[in-house]
């Protein structure tokens, strides 16, 4: 499995000390984009085998600050695969029905079935990130959720689900430029929300909360990757490398013909 940008369990992380610049890790954009296209072809073939085998599954979790590029990542990395075998779920503010149940209820319903790749655009981690920064629940509620999340992900792993978690790491300056683009470009106006500006004022608080998430919920079974995301071309490459190398490690097999059907003729 690709280990670049992978966090180590039990090790505290300071996001300010981790580069957001893909250029610090790859100098040649043309070469990076060529490798990315080759990886997408590999991904399509591996995903077809995963779907045909229908025994294992993969869950990809994407978290980021606003404008971090979650939607763009999904479009870019998974655009070449058979949509029949990939399910994307976006988690918004919980509904009244969801709030009446435990915080993992809506998450568990969305995990991928055998043969599928599931992609979460935001995830169960919102319930230890947003609720904490916005002071929706007291610490007595959100702190136990770290261990509950770890146990949930251990359950998924024990059920033949490979869990990959990516934090798309952008700088404050890059976010500022992307928000400015949303305001000034008519094609991007629809993406803008005034709420993004209020959350931007809480940047420091969000960084501290994410650092706690990584410290408590990075495990060998369900690793976190902090992906430099200021340059989209490097972000896409780094994530594709991890997804493809993990699928190779899973090594899904083509199913064999059912017993008694070998040698049958089609009339």
Does residue 92 sit within a domain?
A: yes
Please give the model's pTM, rounded to 2 decimal places.
0.94
DSSP string, 178-230: HHHHHHH-TTTGGG--HHHHHHHTTHHHHHHHHHHHHHHH--SSS-EEEEE-S
**163, β-bridge pairs:** 59
- Provide the domain count of the chain: 1
| Position 255 in a domain | no
Express each pLDDT in 149-204 by its tens digit: 999 999 999 999 999 999 999 999 999 999 998 988 888 888 777 777 778 899 99
Tell me if 212 is assigned to some domain: yes
- Residue 228 forms part of a structural domain: yes
User: Tens digit of pLDDT per residue, the chain (267 long)?
Assistant: 578 999 999 889 999 999 999 999 999 999 999 999 999 999 999 999 999 999 999 999 999 999 999 999 999 999 889 888 999 999 999 999 999 999 999 999 999 999 999 999 999 999 999 999 999 999 999 999 999 999 999 999 999 999 999 999 999 999 999 999 898 888 888 877 777 777 889 999 999 999 999 999 999 999 999 999 999 999 999 999 999 999 999 999 999 888 777 777 777
The CATH number that applies at residue 79 is 3.40.50.300
Residues 6+ apart with CB under 8 A from 128: 142, 145, 146, 149, 209, 212, 213, 217
d(CA 143, CA 207): 17
The boundaries of the domain holding residue 189 are: 15-250
């Amino acid at each position: 499995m690709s280990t670049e940008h992978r966090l180590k369990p039990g090790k505290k992380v300071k996001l300010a000390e981790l580069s957001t610049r893909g250029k610090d890790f790859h100098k040649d954009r043309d070469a990076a984009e060529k490798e990315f296209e080759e990886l997408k072809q590999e991904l399509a073939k591996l995903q077809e085998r995963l779907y045909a085998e229908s025994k294992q599954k993969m869950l990809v979790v994407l978290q980021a600050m606003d404008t971090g590029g979650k939607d763009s990542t999904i479009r870019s990395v998974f655009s070449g695969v058979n949509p029949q075998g990939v399910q994307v779920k976006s988690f918004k503010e919980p509904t009244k029905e969801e709030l009446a149940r435990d915080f993992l209820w809506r998450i568990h319903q969305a995990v991928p079935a055998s043969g599928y790749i599931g992609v979460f655009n935001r995830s169960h981690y919102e319930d230890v990130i947003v609720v904490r920064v916005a002071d929706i629940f007291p610490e007595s509620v959100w702190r136990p959720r770290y261990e509950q999340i770890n146990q949930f992900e251990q359950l998924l792993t024990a059920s033949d689900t490979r869990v990959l978690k990516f934090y798309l790491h952008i700088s404050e300056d890059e976010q500022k430029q992307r928000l400015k683009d949303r305001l000034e470009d008519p094609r991007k106006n629809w993406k803008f929300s005034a709420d993004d500006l209020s959350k931007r004022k809480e940047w420091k608080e969000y960084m501290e909360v994410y650092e706690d998430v990584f410290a408590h919920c990075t495990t060998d079974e369900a690793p976190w990757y902090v992906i430099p995301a200021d340059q989209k071309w490097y972000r896409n490459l780094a994530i594709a490398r991890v997804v493809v190398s993990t699928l190779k490690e899973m090594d899904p097999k083509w199913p064999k013909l059912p017993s008694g059907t070998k040698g049958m003729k089609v009339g």
